[in-house]
Structure formats: structure tokens, C-alpha cells
Amino acid sequence: MAWSVLHTAVLSWFGLSLETASLDSAISNALLAAVCWVISSGLQYYRPGQARVLYYTVWCLFLTGFWLLVVQWLLPRLIDNDPEYFRFLARSLPVRFSIAFLIIGWMVMLSELWYSQQDQKQTQQRRLEAETLAREAELFKLRQQLQPHFLFNSLNSINALIGSRPQEARSMVLQLSDFLRGTLKREEHQWVTLAEELQHLSLYLEIEKVRFGHRLSTEIETETNCETMRLPSMLLQPLLENAIKFGLYDTTDGVTISIRARCNTDNMLEISVENPFDAQTAKPRQGTGFGLSGVQRRLYLLFARTDLLTTYFDKNIFTILVKIPQVT
């Protein structure tokens, strides 16, 4: 519309009447707008893969020439017989062609940029959706791997107790049943509060205490304001399994495993698991290989960070530190 007003003003400046200039502008620009609409609609569905410049140049020349032929044929039939206007129209054809070619070329360029950008956004969106699905599938696999891993260890413990301590084995079966029932209920919720996670871990620790008796004791310390902070469900259980594995398996003495949770100023929940560890007497043990690597992989999939799980050894105490950013 702005170009039509400018077109009318230019024709009036060249001496045409306002009525003739307005009619010329309306017809010419309506046809030009129709050509631009055809171009934009066509590029929405098809764009050449190679030799785009040549392809677009040829099409711009063809469409501009077609537009000019229609304008040259239509204007004399719609505007009153005016020899002076007909001579003006004939003299203005090269200028009209040049201006129309530029406008059509701009439309081609803008349409190409717009639809290319839309394609890139859609491609990126599909890639993100595929990555999200793959990440969720791997997280689901890790969660499913945790259950048989713990069940395998528990059944081995029950098997070891059946012959020597059948009553404790029976008690452990009941506790295992309660633990698995609570685990199944939590499958629907990927994130839980720290208080809920520690409550669930207490069931696991009761099972392990049946197996190890007085040899296993635990200390749990949490800051009060941390209990409502959230973390991925069943994230800490493999850490406790690791602590029990390396703290109790190669010793007959009593062992205390400590769990400490605190909140730092960066809106981060920090949980440490400590167990005694003697590097000279501890022996490598074979298992399913889930353990710390599974927790670290799960944290990476959730937060895309590799620095959220660290381990260190100091004065025969092995410590695992987990940092959990709070998702808002």
C-alpha cells in the first residue's frame, strides 16, 4: 500500500491526472502483489537445492516479463482513451520492468531467507526432540537397571541367611517386599524431596542391617532447610551400596556409614556418603557394574554436567560427594 501511494504520487508528478495515476498504480501493484504471492507460496513448497541464483534469476526475469505484458495489455483497456497516457506508458515500460524486477527479486530473497530459517528451526526442533527421547530412554534404562541390581544383591543376602539364620531371612524377605512396593509406587515420579528419598533409603538400610547385623551402623545428618529440596528418585541408593560394598565386605569390624546433606548458597543440594576404606586390605569385587558410573551417567543426562559427582580418599575414609542443582 505504501508503494502504491508512492507510485500514484510519482505518476501525478509526471503530469497524469490523479484518477489516471491512482488507477494505474492500483492495477499495476495489484498484479505485482499477486506475482509476489505466487512466488512466496511456491517457495514454501519447493526450493532448488543447487544453482539457486541462476534458477531464481531466470524465474524473476520470466515473471517480470509476464507481469509487464499483462500490465501493457490491461491498462489501455481500463483507462479512458488518452493518447498522452499511452505514449507515457510506452516510454515507462523499461522503468516499470526494472522496478518490478527488483521488487520480485526482493520477494524471492525474503521468502528464501524466511523459509530457510523456518526449515532450520524445524530441523533443530526435531533434533532436540530426538535427543530428548534418547535421553529419556537412557534414563529409563538406568532406572530399570537399578531395580534388578539391588534385587540381585538382596536375593544373594537372603540366600546366605536361609541356612544359618532363617528367621532373619524371613524378616529380610518381608522388608524387601515393602521396599519394592514403595519403589513401584515411586516409578511415576522422577523427582522427590530429600526427606522422601531418605525415608525410602531407610527401608534399604534396614534390609542391609538384617544381613550385617551389628556390624553396620549409619549416621544421617541433614540441614533442616534442605529436606524440601528435590533430587532424582533413587539416586542415592547405588551410593550406599557402594559404601557397604567397600566398607564391609573385606572386614569383620563394625563400620559406620555417614550420610550428610547440606544446602549451599548456589541453590545446590550437596549430599556426601562416607565409609571407612582400607586400600591395602580391600579387594576388587565383581558385580553388575552399575554403581557410581550409573549415577554419574544419570546426572549427566539430567543436567549435562560431568562435575556433579566427585570422590576422594582421606585418612582411610572414602567420600562420595553429589551435587544436585535445583530445577526451578
Q: Could you tell me the domains of the chain?
A: 2-125 (no CATH), 165-325 (3.30.565.10)
Phi-psi region of 312 (alpha: psi -120 to 50; beta: other; left: phi over 0): beta
Name the one residue in this structure whose C-alpha cell is 517457495: 43
The pLDDT assigned to 286 comes to 47
Helices (H), 14-82: 18-45, 52-78
What percent of the chain has a predicted confidence (pLDDT) above 90?
Answer: 6
- The helix/strand/coil state of 192 is strand
The pLDDT assigned to 281 comes to 58
Confidence of residue 271 (pLDDT cuts 50, 70, 90): very high
Strand order across the 268-276 sheet = 216-222, 255-263, 268-276, 317-325, 309-314
Among candidate residues 242, 252, 180, the one with its CA nearest the CA of residue 216:
252
Stated pTM of the model:
0.56
Q: Given a cut of 70, is residue 57 above it in pLDDT?
A: yes
The pLDDT assigned to 112 comes to 86
Least confident piece of the model among 103-117, 187-201, 222-236: 187-201
The pLDDT assigned to 48 comes to 77
The pLDDT assigned to 90 comes to 84
| Burial (0-12, 13-18, 19+ Cβ within 10 Å), 316 | exposed
- The helix/strand/coil state of 276 is strand
Sign of CA dihedral 47, 48, 54, 55: negative
- The helix/strand/coil state of 266 is coil
Name the one residue in this structure whose C-alpha cell is 539364620: 165
Q: Which residues pair with 262 in a beta bridge?
A: 270
Q: Given a cut of 50, is residue 249 above it in pLDDT?
A: yes
246, 264 in Cβ contact below 8 A? no
The pLDDT assigned to 288 comes to 42
Least confident piece of the model among 87-91, 95-99, 119-123, 186-190: 186-190
The pLDDT assigned to 182 comes to 67
Confidence of residue 316 (pLDDT cuts 50, 70, 90): confident
Confidence of residue 188 (pLDDT cuts 50, 70, 90): very low
Q: Given a cut of 50, is residue 51 above it in pLDDT?
A: yes
Q: Given a cut of 60, is residue 205 above it in pLDDT?
A: yes
- The mean pLDDT value for 18-32 works out to 85
Q: Given a cut of 70, is residue 78 above it in pLDDT?
A: yes
Q: Given a cut of 90, is residue 272 above it in pLDDT?
A: yes
CB-based contacts of 14, cutoff 8 Å, min separation 6: 88
Which residue type, as a one-letter code, is found at position 275? N
The pLDDT assigned to 170 comes to 83
The total number of residues written for the chain in this structure: 328
- pLDDT, averaged across the chain: 80
